[in-house]
C-alpha cells in the first residue's frame, strides 16, 4: 500500500513521489530540516511555499502528461480530520479514542499541532474496491459518510465535515508518536451504504439516522451538564456530580455511562468499570427509591429486571426462534443473539451490581413474554411499503442481468420472484401450495451464478441465504425451509437422481413443514418461508423421468452482470405493490406446459432411452407403425441388446417412454400402448 506525496515548488510545478504507508509514518516522526513545524506551532510562522507536501492516502496516484492525476491502485482509505484542538492532550485524546476502533489504520497530529488526521480502512463487501475512478469517487464519498457517523460517537471532539473523493488529501503532518495498526479491519460499506454486521437483523438506515440524531441531542445535554459543574470533571467528585446532573436532566442511565465513558476514555485512571461504578452510584442516589418488597425473591427479581432493562434492549426474533439484545443507548449497534455466553456475562454484571441472581434467572427473563416479539421480514417489507414509483421495473432489470437465449426468462423470473415474496408474506394461496418452481442456472464455472443468487436478498436479509445445505439430510432441509428465506442448491448435479425424484420433488411444493422440536413430544406444523434456486455446471441434470415441471433450466450465454447493484428498496417495494394489486405469482397450466417443453434439453437421457431411439421411433401413421406395450418394446430391446438392458427396469423405462414428446398413446386391456416404428 503506497500513499502519494505532491509538492508544488515556487515555480508552480508539482512533483509527485510515492511512499509505503510504513515509510510515510516513519518520516512524519521528525520535523523538516529547518524545523518548520516547530516554528509554526510555537510562533505561528507558516513555512515557505513548496516546503510541505500534500498527502493523498486514498490511492496511489500518477501524473499524466496533461498534469491530471490518475489512479494507479486504490488503497481503500478515507481520512477524517478533527481540528480546532486546543492542546497536545486534546490531540492525544482523539488519537487514543480513534485507536479503540478496529477500522483505524493510523492516527496522527497534523502540521499545526491543533488537528488530528484519522485514516480509516474501508471496502465493499468481500474486501472489494471499485475499479473505475467514477465509481471510486462515489464509493469514497459514501464510505466517508459512514466513517463520519461511526467515529462521531467515539471521538471526544467533533469531526470536520467535508465532501470527499479519491483525490482527498491533507498536508504533511508532524507527529513523533503516531498511532498505526497495519492489520486494521476494513469498515464495510454495502450496496445500501450501511455498516455490515453479523447480526441477524441490522437496523435500518432510518433507525440509524434517528439514533444518531438522539445521540447528538444527548451530547448537547452532556455539554450543558459539564458547564454546570462546580468541580473539575477530571476528579471523582466532578465525575459523580456530572452523572448526577445528567440524571436530573432526564438522560437515561446507560446513555450517561456511554457519553461519560467516551469523553474520558483517554484517561488511564477512568476505565469502563470505573465510569460504570460512578454512574450507577449517582443514579441510584438520585432516582427515587422504590418501595421495598416483602419477599426477598420478588425484590431480587425486580432489581434484575430493572438492571437488564437499564443496560439492554431485548426482543424475541420469531423467525430465528431466539431472543436478541443490543445495548440500551443510541450508539449504532446491531441486534445479537442471547446465547449462553451472553447470559453468563449478564449474570456476572448483575452480581457485580450486588444483585442476588443466578444465570437461570437471566435466561428465564430473556425467554419470557416480558420481551416483545418481532419478525424481521415483516419489519423490512413494511419499511419498503409504498416506496415504488410505479414505473421502474426493478424486477425486470435484475432478470436482464442474466444473459440467455430464453425469451420467456424475464417473465418466468418475475413470477418466481413474486412467489418468493408472497411466501414470506404468507399469502392465502400459499397456505395450500408452496413456491414449487426452482430457477436452475446452467453454465461453466466463473459466470457469477452464486454471486447473483446471493444478491437477490438485500443486506438486511442476507442472514436468510444459505448455499451449503445437504439436501440428503431431511431434517436439516426441513429446518432450513422454515428458518431461511432463499436456499441455493449449489452444484445441483451432485444431487442424486433418487433424491431429485423423491424427497426434493416432494418438499419443493410443501406449504408447511412438519417437524418435532428438539426434545419435543409431538410433530408440529411450521410455516415454510424459503424458496429455492439452483446452479449447475452441467446441462444434463434433470433426472425425473415423468418430466421436470419443478425447474426452470436457463443456459447462460455469458457471465452474469454483477456490476449492476439492485435498488433493493425499489425491488421489494415493486414486488409488494404488484402482489397488493393482485398480480398472479403462480404458474398456470399453459406456462407449466411451456416450462416442461423448455426443460427437455436439460433432462438426463438414460441408456435405455438412447437404445430405444437407436432402434425405434415415434410414428404418426398407424399403417406405418405398430401399437406396442411398454413390456413388448422393452423385451424387444433386451433381445437385441442382451445384458446391456439390465441396468433399467421396465417400470422406469415406461416412465421415460411416456414422457417422450409427440409419441402417440392409447389405453387397452393390456395396458398403455405406444405407436412406434422399428428402424431398419
pLDDT tens, residue by residue, 10-65 = 666 777 888 888 888 887 777 665 566 666 655 455 555 555 678 888 888 887 77
Q: Give the separation between CA 149 and CA 158, rounded to whole angstroms.
A: 11
- pLDDT over 90 (residue 568): yes
Q: What pLDDT does 233 receive?
A: 65
User: Residue range 181-188: average pLDDT?
Assistant: 82
442-465 pLDDT per residue, tens:
998 889 999 999 999 998 888 889
DSSP strands (E only) in 250-348: 312-317, 322-327, 336-337
User: Residue range 277-304: average pLDDT?
Assistant: 70
Closest CA to 504 of 477, 467, 464, 522: 477
Most confident of 269-278, 366-375, 387-396, 512-521: 387-396
- pLDDT over 80 (residue 604): no
Contacts of 589 (CB under 8 A, 6+ apart): none
Q: What pLDDT does 394 receive?
A: 95
| pLDDT interval class at 243 (50, 70, 90) | confident
| pLDDT interval class at 211 (50, 70, 90) | low
For 335, which DSSP code? -
Residue 91 near residue 177 (C-beta atoms within 8 A): no
Closest CA to 94 of 73, 113, 112, 108: 108
DSSP strands (E only) in 89-247: 104-109, 116-123, 170-171, 179-180, 187-188
Q: What pLDDT does 646 receive?
A: 60
Closest CA to 387 of 537, 567, 146: 567
- pLDDT over 50 (residue 649): yes
User: Residue range 493-510: average pLDDT?
Assistant: 80
* Interior/surface letters 527-543, b for 16+ CB within 10 angstroms, e for the rest: bbbbbbbbbbeeeebbb
- pLDDT over 90 (residue 415): yes
List, by residue range, all CATH 3.40.50 domains of the chain.
Answer: 391-602
- pLDDT over 70 (residue 198): no
Q: Give the separation between CA 4 and CA 72, rounded to whole angstroms.
A: 10
Contacts of 153 (CB under 8 A, 6+ apart): 212, 215, 262, 331, 332
Q: What pLDDT does 192 receive?
A: 41
Q: Give me the phi and psi of 248, to 5 degrees please.
A: -70, -25
CA distances from 184 to 59, 79, 101, 110 (A): 17, 14, 9, 21
User: Residue range 252-271: average pLDDT?
Assistant: 72
Q: Give me the phi and psi of 661, to 5 degrees please.
A: -70, 140
| pLDDT interval class at 295 (50, 70, 90) | low
- Please, which residues bridge with residue 327 across strands? 312
CATH number, span 391-602: 3.40.50
| pLDDT interval class at 269 (50, 70, 90) | low
Residue ranges of alpha helices (H) inside 426-509 are 449-454, 474-483, 497-499, 505-507
Q: What pLDDT does 630 receive?
A: 79
Better pLDDT: 646 or 111: 111
* Average pLDDT of every residue of the chain: 80
- pLDDT over 50 (residue 191): no
| pLDDT interval class at 194 (50, 70, 90) | very low
123-150 pLDDT per residue, tens:
887 677 887 766 787 788 888 888 887 7
Q: What pLDDT does 200 receive?
A: 36
- pLDDT over 90 (residue 572): yes
CB-count burial class (<10 Å; 0-12, 13-18, 19+) for 384:
buried
- pLDDT over 50 (residue 86): yes
Q: What pLDDT does 537 receive?
A: 85
Q: What pLDDT does 75 receive?
A: 85
Amino acid at each position: 500500500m503506497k500513499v502519494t506525496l505532491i509538492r508544488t515548488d515556487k515555480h508552480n510545478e508539482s512533483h509527485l513521489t510515492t511512499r509505503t504507508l510504513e515509510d510515510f509514518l516513519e518520516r512524519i516522526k521528525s520535523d523538516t530540516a529547518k524545523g518548520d513545524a516547530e516554528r509554526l506551532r510555537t510562533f505561528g510562522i507558516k513555512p515557505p511555499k513548496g516546503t510541505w507536501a500534500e498527502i493523498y492516502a486514498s490511492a496511489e496516484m500518477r501524473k499524466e502528461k496533461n498534469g491530471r492525476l490518475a489512479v494507479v491502485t486504490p488503497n481503500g482509505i478515507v481520512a477524517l480530520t478533527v481540528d480546532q484542538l486546543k492542546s497536545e492532550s486534546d490531540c492525544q485524546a482523539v488519537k487514543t479514542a480513534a485507536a479503540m476502533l478496529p477500522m483505524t489504520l493510523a492516527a496522527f497530529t497534523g502540521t499545526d499541532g491543533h488537528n488530528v488526521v484519522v485514516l480509516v480502512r474501508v471496502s465493499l463487501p468481500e474486501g472489494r474496491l471499485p475499479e473505475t475512478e467514477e465509481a471510486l469517487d462515489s464509493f469514497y464519498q459514501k464510505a466517508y459518510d459512514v466513517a463520519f457517523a461511526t467515529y462521531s460517537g467515539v471521538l471526544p471532539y467533533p469531526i470536520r465535515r467535508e465532501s470527499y473523493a479519491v483525490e482527498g488529501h491533507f498536508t504533511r503532518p508532524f507527529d513523533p508518536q503516531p498511532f498505526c495498526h497495519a492489520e486494521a479491519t476494513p469498515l464495510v460499506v454495502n450496496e445500501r451504504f450501511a455498516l455490515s454486521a453479523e447480526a441477524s437483523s441490522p437496523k435500518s438506515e432510518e433507525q440509524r439516522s434517528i439514533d444518531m440524531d438522539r445521540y447528538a441531542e444527548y451530547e448537547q445535554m452532556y455539554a450543558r451538564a459539564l458547564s454546570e459543574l462546580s468541580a473539575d470533571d477530571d476528579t471523582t467528585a466532578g465525575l459523580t456530580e456530572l452523572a448526577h446532573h445528567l440524571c436530573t436532566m432526564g438522560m437515561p442511565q446507560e446513555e450517561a455511562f456511554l457519553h461519560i465513558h467516551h469523553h474520558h476514555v483517554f484517561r488511564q485512571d477512568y476505565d469502563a468499570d470505573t465510569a460504570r461504578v460512578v454512574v450507577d452510584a449517582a443514579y441510584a442516589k438520585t432516582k427515587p427509591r422504590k418501595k421495598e418488597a416483602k419477599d426477598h425473591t420478588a425484590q431480587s427479581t425486580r432489581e434484575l429486571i430493572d438492571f437488564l432493562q437499564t443496560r439492554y434492549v431485548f426482543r424475541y426474533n420469531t423467525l430465528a426462534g431466539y431472543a436478541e439484545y443490543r445495548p440500551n443507548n443510541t450508539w449504532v449497534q446491531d441486534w445479537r443473539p442471547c446465547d449462553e455466553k451472553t447470559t453468563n456475562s449478564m449474570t456476572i454484571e448483575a452480581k457485580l451490581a450486588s444483585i442476588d441472581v443466578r444465570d437461570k434467572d437471566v435466561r428465564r427473563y430473556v425467554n419470557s413474554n416480558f420481551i416483545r416479539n418481532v419478525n424481521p421480514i415483516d419489519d423490512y417489507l413494511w419499511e419498503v411499503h409504498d416506496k415504488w414509483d410505479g414505473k421502474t421495473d426493478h424486477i425486470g432489470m435484475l432478470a436482464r442481468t442474466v444473459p440467455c437465449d430464453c425469451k420467456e426468462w424475464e417473465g418466468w423470473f418475475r413470477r418466481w420472484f413474486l412467489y418468493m415474496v408472497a411466501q414470506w408474506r404468507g399469502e392465502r394461496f400459499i397456505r395450500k401450495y408452496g413456491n414449487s418452481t426452482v430457477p436452475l442456472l446452467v453454465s461453466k464455472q466463473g459466470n457469477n451464478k452464486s454471486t447473483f443468487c446471493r444478491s437477490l436478498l438485500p443486506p438486511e436479509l442476507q442472514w436468510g441465504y444459505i448455499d451449503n445445505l445437504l439436501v440428503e439430510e431431511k431434517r436439516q432441509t426441513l429446518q432450513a425451509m422454515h428458518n431461511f428465506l432463499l436456499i441455493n442448491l449449489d452444484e445441483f448435479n451432485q444431487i442424486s437422481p433418487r433424491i431429485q425424484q423423491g424427497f426434493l420433488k416432494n418438499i419443493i411444493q410443501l406449504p408447511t413443514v412438519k417437524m418435532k422440536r428438539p426434545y419435543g413430544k409431538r410433530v408440529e406444523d411450521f410455516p415454510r418461508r424459503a424458496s429455492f434456486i439452483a446452479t449447475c455446471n452441467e446441462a444434463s441434470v434433470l433426472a425425473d423421468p415423468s418430466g421436470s415441471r419443478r425447474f426452470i433450466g436457463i443456459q447462460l450465454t455469458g457471465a452474469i452482470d454483477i456490476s449492476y447493484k439492485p435498488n433493493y428498496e425499489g425491488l421489494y417495494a415493486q414486488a409488494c405493490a404488484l402482489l397488493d394489486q393482485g398480480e398472479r405469482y403462480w404458474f398456470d397450466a399453459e406456462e407449466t406446459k411451456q416450462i416442461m417443453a423448455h426443460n427437455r434439453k436439460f433432462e438426463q437421457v438414460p441408456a435405455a432411452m438412447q437404445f430405444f431411439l437407436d432402434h425405434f421411433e415415434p410414428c404418426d401413421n398407424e399403417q406405418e407403425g405398430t401399437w406396442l406395450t411398454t413390456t413388448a418394446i422393452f423385451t424387444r430391446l433386451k433381445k437385441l441388446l442382451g445384458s446391456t438392458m439390465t441396468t433399467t427396469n421396465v417400470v422406469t423405462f415406461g416412465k421415460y417412454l411416456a414422457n417422450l414428446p409427440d409419441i402417440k398413446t392409447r389405453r387397452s386391456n393390456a395396458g398403455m400402448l405406444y405407436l412406434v416404428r422399428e428402424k431398419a
